[in-house]
Chain A
Amino acid sequence: MLEKFNQLSFVIGVFFIIVSLILLIGFLTSSALHHNINLYTGIGMIVFGLVMINLKD
């Protein structure tokens, strides 16, 4: 697993998954983040992140 961090695509994928989780968890748990634009962007980023972690450099 750690070896995968040598791949840039994996690093980028993990980064966007973390950012999307902040947006999505925030959307579900905080009124300040409860905006549709956070939800849609979070979904978009998590899809992108998943694609990236499955790519090979």
Chain B
Amino acid sequence: MRLYLADYLIIFVYFLFVIAVGFIIKKRIKSSNDFLSSSRSIPLWITSLAFISANLGAQEVLGMVASGAKYGIMTVHFYWVGAIFAMVFLGVFMMPFYYGSKARSVPEYLSMRFDEKTRALNAVTFAVMTVFSSGISLYALAKLLEVILHWNFDLCIWLAAGIVMVYTFLGGLTSAVYNEVLQFFLIVLGLSPLVIVALHDAGGWSNIQANLQPQLTHAWKYMDKAENNPLGVNFMSLIFGLGFVMSFGYWCTDFLVVQRAMIAKNMSAAQRTPIIAAIPKMFMPLIVVLPGVIAIALMQPALLSKGYSIPLDENGGINYTMTLPSMIAHYYPTGLLGVGITALIASFMSGMAGNVTAFNSVFTYDIYQSYFVKNKSDQHYLTVGKLITLFGILFSIATAYLAASFNNINDFLQLVFSFVNGPLFATFLLGMFWKRTTGHGAFWGLVMGTLAAAATHGLTIAEGKGGWISPVYEISSGMGQAFIVAAFSWIANFFSTILVSLVTKPKPDEELRGLVYSLTEKVYAKESRWYMKAGPLGLILLLITILLNIIFF
């Protein structure tokens, strides 16, 4: 793949604009709240698109296209079983507590609802995870550009990190959020032509269906037994593991995404943020799953004449991760190639900025201000927030080089993150809807859930991974193993939290008002028009999602 002047020009214009956004926002930054939490002033359409965009990093885009090629249309379960239901639940039931409690972060909500040790556990693990994720994102960007464009690895690392540093340092969270919206449109408009051209080249959806195994073009038909479908899971594991535990755990508790809703102007907007975000999310498989399915269809005998194939890896197997870059290289001429590459760069940088801005909020509010230096002036915390942003970027660079030196560190970190994230939703579910849940219960539930996740992974083996305690049970796919690990960790957390809570003293009711469902006055959006209310909007989205599942059954 080779770029020409027009392509470089488009990349340059993008860099110029993201830095300019930083300078524009800089004028508005007067306090730590402006820098770290946007002073709850961001319009609904921006918070909604930033909400979806915070999850639309390049690893997500490349990963979903790769999964589309590997698992076929079943990849839509991440959207139509996972994301949409969780986003509606967050908007209707959980945002009133996050937003209404006036917490500045998810760990701060945990300190209000439970205690300091639960907050500290969540804050420290989240801070470590985000800064490592940021570094991995940076490494992946530099590696991709090195492989497909033969750009210098070090230059890619320092240029991308430098640009992210400039605009996050200048404009903080608002700057990151604004650039996420720009990135969202760039991905949608930059990749839509690829889908249209490739779909046309493959002879349309009916021709793809005719050429592919039926397991790759049906979302549910082959989910009755794990061995009947490429995901290697049955519908029960899918619905509980992915649809409930993993998706709700991510969309409803991960501060990186929840933060986008917490900066909305008012409760009504905060509740509608994830619900409005669910509308584009519902149709995102057209951009990020369909290209993968088209790619694998183009490699079938009847379509080989089209001249496209996914590159192979060093072992001679299909390198699914390269599906999207190879399609861009195959279908995009100079000009649009620059748009496609810019979209990829934008998604990497945006993913990194999202992690860094979530990291600096949690570190400043939940670690530094809570445990180290209390009661200082706001200007002090603004300065600390900015310095932490610089530290976060530098640590990301160090992580990127660490990832470059140790091939397995990415897999290891992702695994550890999944152990920590898996059980989280049980803590929030019990905390928000069962007033008897105690701080001790929440803390030990999280610990037990994480241990259960590690134990399940150590006792199961899939595609050669796991089984490090003893490979007692074999699962046919890594994804199936991830669902089962998540399910066990959630169950362990749920029951441990209940058991410990029953033998420890709960907080008095008056301390839980506004934090627990049964003790909170229902102050859901005071909108008179139905289409401005989270509930009716969410219900309509769920019906459309069910309809999409039926259409692609």
Contact = CB atoms under 8 A, between A and B. Distances in A.
A38 B335 contact: yes
A32 to B, nearest CB: 5
A33 B46 CA distance: 33
Contacts of B339: 19, 23, 41
A57 B13 CA distance: 23
Contact of A18 (B4, B13, B197): B13
A54 interface: no
Interface residues of A, number: 25
A30 B334 CA distance: 10
Which of A5, A32, A40 has the most chain B CB atoms closer than 10 A to its own CB?
A: A32
A8 B166 CA distance: 18
Contacts of B332: 37
Contacts of A12: 181-182, 185
A11 to B, nearest CB: 6
Given A30-B6, A41-B339, A57-B46, A11 B333 contact: no
A45 to B, nearest CB: 6
Contact of B46 (A8, A19, A22): A8
B17 A15 contact: yes
B24 A6 contact: yes
Given A15-B13, A33-B6, A37-B197, A44 B189 contact: yes
Contacts of B9: 22
Interface of B: 4, 6, 9-10, 13-14, 17, 20-21, 24, 43, 45-46, 178, 181-182, 185, 189, 193, 197, 331-336, 338-339
Given A6-B24, A22-B335, A37-B331, 11 more contacts: A8-B182, A15-B14, A22-B10, A23-B335, A26-B334, A33-B333, A35-B336, A37-B332, A38-B336, A41-B336, A44-B189
23 contacts: A5-B20, A5-B24, A11-B24, A11-B178, A11-B182, A12-B181, A12-B185, A15-B182, A22-B13, A22-B335, A23-B335, A26-B6, A26-B335, A27-B335, A30-B334, A32-B333, A32-B335, A35-B335, A37-B331, A37-B333, A40-B193, A41-B193, A48-B189
